[in-house]
């Protein structure tokens, strides 16, 4: 909140409909990658290669569309297949060879970066061929009409209410404590107001961006995976105590490989969104995005040691990181200061994680 107040006072454009729309698209890109990072941080691992992977997968699809005239869905499918295979391989090496994830993914960072530059031949490759608008370019340029935005808000609101009621009913059935009814109603009402406010603001510019809808869908999927499936419970259990997880019969190897496979798919989606937002695949696409994703997770309460983290926390952390970068860009702050600020935020985020761990211990 303080970040928004500062930038709103520093620039009257910060809270304008156009900038807020761009801010949400940037949030969608950062948060999408951060949600993928959450899946490997929960079991106590990490991935430093995702930023380079974003550039590489986006570059592969761009080259196939622009140079080889592939239909954009087919090119994106090819990039997705490669991404899942590459991340499954890294996950398998990490878990079967007992090599620290830090080392393997650091090597992946260098390999993917070099491969990315080779793929695009150190040139700028557009995401479209001629004046043709394709699915690839629409990821960050398509906006839903006003009525569709309100319909989406209604559907999300209904899903939120059903989810809250179901969770409350299940907790009561199992004898767990639940929030007071008045408090639960108030929180739900505030959430519904926030959703409606976002849609109203977006409709003042062009409408709800497709990228935001993709983020909402992915956040829902990751939430269901982490909170309502055995796979998600296994991720938390492995992060809490891997030895205990093994003794309890959890298939640790398959879970870890599965987490990296899901991350690979999310890296591909992020690569398409980031490249489409830039308008072309260039050598700088994806630079330092792994640090933004890690910082977003840690700011949102995810532990680097594993066992702790939520989707809502990741979205909150991503909003902080995106707001900082968007506000600094709006104020024309130099790249040098941007790097310094991102570094300070990352250090503070890790310090917060360590402090919380000590307090919990």
What does the DSSP assignment read for 311-325? HHHHHHHHHHHHHHH
Kindly report each contact of residues 11-16 with a partner whose C-beta sits within 8 Å and lies 24 or more positions away, as own/partner: 11/327, 11/330, 11/331, 13/330, 14/326, 14/327, 14/330
| Helix, strand, coil abundance in the chain, percent, nearest 5 | 75, 0, 25
Structure tokens at 168: 């409350």
- For the chain, what is the domain count? 1
Q: What per-residue confidence (pLDDT) applies to 266?
A: 97
In a domain, residue 171? The reply is no
Is residue 280 in a domain?
yes
pLDDT in tens, 234-260: 999 999 988 899 888 899 999 999 999
Average pLDDT of each block of 10 consecutive residues along the chain (361 residues)? 81 86 93 97 95 96 91 94 97 93 95 96 84 79 91 88 82 76 84 88 90 93 91 94 89 95 97 93 92 91 89 92 90 87 82 72 58
Phi/psi for 187 (5° steps) reads -65, -45
Residue 18 domain-assigned (yes or no): yes
Burial class (CB in 10 A: 0-12, 13-18, 19+), 78: middle
Strand, helix or coil for residue 265:
helix
Q: Is residue 113 part of a domain?
A: yes
**Burial class of residue 341 (count of CB atoms within 10 Å of its CB; 0-12, 13-18, 19+):** middle
pLDDT at 360: 62
Calpha distance 218→262 (Å, rounded): 11
Q: Is the dihedral of CA 248, 249, 253, 254 positive or negative?
A: negative
For 14-33, letters b (16+ CB in 10 Å) and e give bebeebbbbbbbbbbbbbbb
pLDDT for 361 equals: 58
Taking only the tens place, the pLDDT of each residue in 75-111 is 999 999 999 999 999 999 999 999 999 999 999 999 9
Flag whether 223 is in a domain.
yes
Q: What is the CATH number of the domain that holds 70?
A: 1.10.3470
Domain-embedded: residue 348: yes
- What does the pLDDT read at residue 1? 67
Distance separating alpha carbons of residues 49 and 221, to the nearest angstrom: 23
Q: Quote the domain boundaries for residue 67.
A: 2-145+207-360
Query: Is residue 190 situated within a structural domain?
Result: no
User: Is the pTM of the predicted complex or chain greater than 0.85?
Assistant: yes
Residue 159 domain-assigned (yes or no) = no
Ramachandran quadrant class, 209 (left: phi over 0; alpha: psi -120 to 50; beta: rest): beta
- Angle between helix axes 311-330 and 2-10 (nearest 10 degrees) is 20
CA distance 353 to 298: 7
């Amino acid at each position: 909140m303080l970040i928004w107040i500062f930038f709103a006072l520093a620039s009257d454009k910060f809270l304008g409909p156009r900038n807020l729309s761009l801010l949400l698209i940037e949030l969608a890109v950062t948060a999408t990658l951060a949600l993928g990072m959450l899946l490997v941080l929960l079991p106590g691992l990490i991935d430093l290669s995702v930023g380079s992977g974003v550039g590489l997968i986006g570059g592969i699809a761009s080259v196939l569309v622009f140079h080889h005239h592939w239909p954009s869905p087919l090119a994106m499918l090819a990039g997705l297949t490669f991404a899942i295979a590459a991340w499954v391989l890294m996950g398998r090496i990490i878990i079967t060879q007992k090599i620290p994830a830090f080392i393997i993914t650091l090597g992946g960072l260098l390999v993917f970066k070099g491969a990315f530059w080779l793929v695009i031949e150190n040139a700028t490759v557009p995401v479209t061929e001629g004046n043709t608008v394709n699915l690839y370019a629409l990821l960050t340029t398509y906006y839903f009409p006003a009525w569709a935005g309100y319909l989406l808000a209604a559907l999300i609101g209904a899903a939120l209410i059903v989810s809250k009621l179901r969770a409350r009913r299940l907790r009561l059935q199992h004898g767990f404590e639940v929030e007071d009814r008045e408090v639960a109603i108030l929180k739900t009402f505030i959430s519904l107001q926030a959703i409606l406010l976002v849609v109203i603001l977006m409709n003042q510019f062009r409408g709800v961006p497709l990228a935001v809808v993709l983020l909402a869908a992915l956040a829902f999927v990751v939430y269901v995976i982490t909170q309502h499936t055995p796979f998600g419970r296994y991720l938390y259990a492995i992060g809490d105590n891997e030895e205990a997880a093994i003794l309890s019969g959890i298939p640790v190897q398959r879970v870890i490989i599965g987490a990296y496979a899901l991350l690979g798919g999310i890296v591909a989606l992020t690569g398409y969104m980031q490249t489409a937002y830039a308008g072309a695949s260039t050598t700088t696409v994806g630079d330092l995005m792994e640090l933004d994703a890690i910082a977003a997770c840690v700011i949102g309460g995810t532990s680097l040691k594993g066992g702790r983290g939520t989707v809502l926390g990741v979205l909150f952390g991503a909003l902080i990181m995106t707001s900082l970068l968007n506000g600094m860009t709006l104020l024309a702050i130099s790249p040098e200061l941007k790097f310094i600020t991102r570094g300070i935020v990352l250090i503070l985020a890790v310090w917060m994680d360590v402090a919380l761990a000590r307090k919990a211990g």
